[in-house]
Amino acid sequence: MRKRLSKLLIWVWFKSLTKAFKEQKLFELKNKLEKIVPDIIDQYTNFKVDSDYLKLKVRGLHAFQISLVAKVIDEFKNPTIVDIGDSAGTHLQYINDLFRQCRGLSVNLDPVAVEKIKAKGLEAIQARAENLDTYNIRTDIFLCFETMEHLMNPWEFLHELSIKTQAKYLIITVPYVKHSRVGLHHLRNERFENVRAENTHLLELNPQDWKLVVKHSGWRLVDETIYRQYPRMNWLRLTQCLWKKYDFEGFYGLILTRDDSYAKLYQDW
């Protein structure tokens, strides 16, 4: 019975995602991304994207993320784009094919991810993004997709990026929640094995709180978008409660530019 319910839930989610893509005008972009990088089974280090449902879910998130890049990339002729926490080089492949050739650099502390990206002929370094100033890399756009919620200190991370780089834009996506909360779901569920930064959420903040965090840390909001994994103009909007209970309703995207107006007011003593 439980297995049957699980299959039904996945079927409903699949339908919900498909309707959501179309409603949010991401369906065509999703299809383009599939042609550029047909295989995303090894997109992540800690699990395989090995089912039709997971592939659809990940492609939708990728389409949302690339749609944010599309809003600013035309300002640059030959941009340098640094993907922070990149696990496969996929987004840089999308960007090079859809827009223009750029210098793409993936930054990750995970040596497995770095080698995976290099094997594709892409540039990757094992380092902290906030220490890129030591590599003499001038960045135009930082990408930080599904990373902030895993960081021990997002304020310090954002502030270091602001003061140590000359990047014009930082594009972030995080899980969308309406009410901020501490993550640490492994502690809530008394699971004490396989606890790593890549699979552990520390802070899950709502958009209002994320905007306070970035403003305090040396950044100004240029644009913001909420991507929902369910449609709002269809009976499948009822799946909102299922997404909220078992996953996330969607994802929140911010496009930021450096601005220390508020950060410099804070004195740490």
HEC letters along 70-137: HCCHHHCCCCEEEEECCCCCHHHHHHHHHCCCCEEEEEECCHHHHHHHHCCCCEEEECCHHHHHHHCC
Contact 242, 222 (CB under 8 A): no
Dihedral angle, C-alpha 28, 34, 40, 43, nearest 10 °: -40
Residues of the chain above pLDDT 90, percent: 67
User: How far apart, in whole angstroms, are the C-alpha atoms of residue 136 and residue 114?
Assistant: 19
pLDDT tens figures, 238-265:
999 999 988 999 999 999 999 999 998 8
Mean pLDDT of 83-90: 91
Main-chain dihedrals φ then ψ at residue 121, nearest 5 degrees: 85, 15
Q: What is the predicted pLDDT for the residue at 3? A: 52
More confident residue, 47 or 209: 209
Query: Given pLDDT bands bounded at 50, 70 and 90, which one contains residue 269?
Result: low
Mean pLDDT of 85-103: 89
**Domains of the chain listed by start with CATH number:** 2-265 (3.40.50.150)
Rg of the chain over all Cα atoms, to the nearest angstrom: 19
Give me the chain's average pLDDT, please: 90
Mean pLDDT of 175-195: 84
Query: Given pLDDT bands bounded at 50, 70 and 90, which one contains residue 201?
Result: confident
pLDDT tens figures, 107-142:
988 888 899 999 999 999 998 877 877 888 889 999
User: How far apart, in whole angstroms, are the C-alpha atoms of residue 74 and residue 101?
Assistant: 12
7-30 as b/e: b if 16+ CB within 10 A: eeeeeebebbbbbbbebbebeebb
The two three-digit tokens of residue 117, written as one number: 């990206």
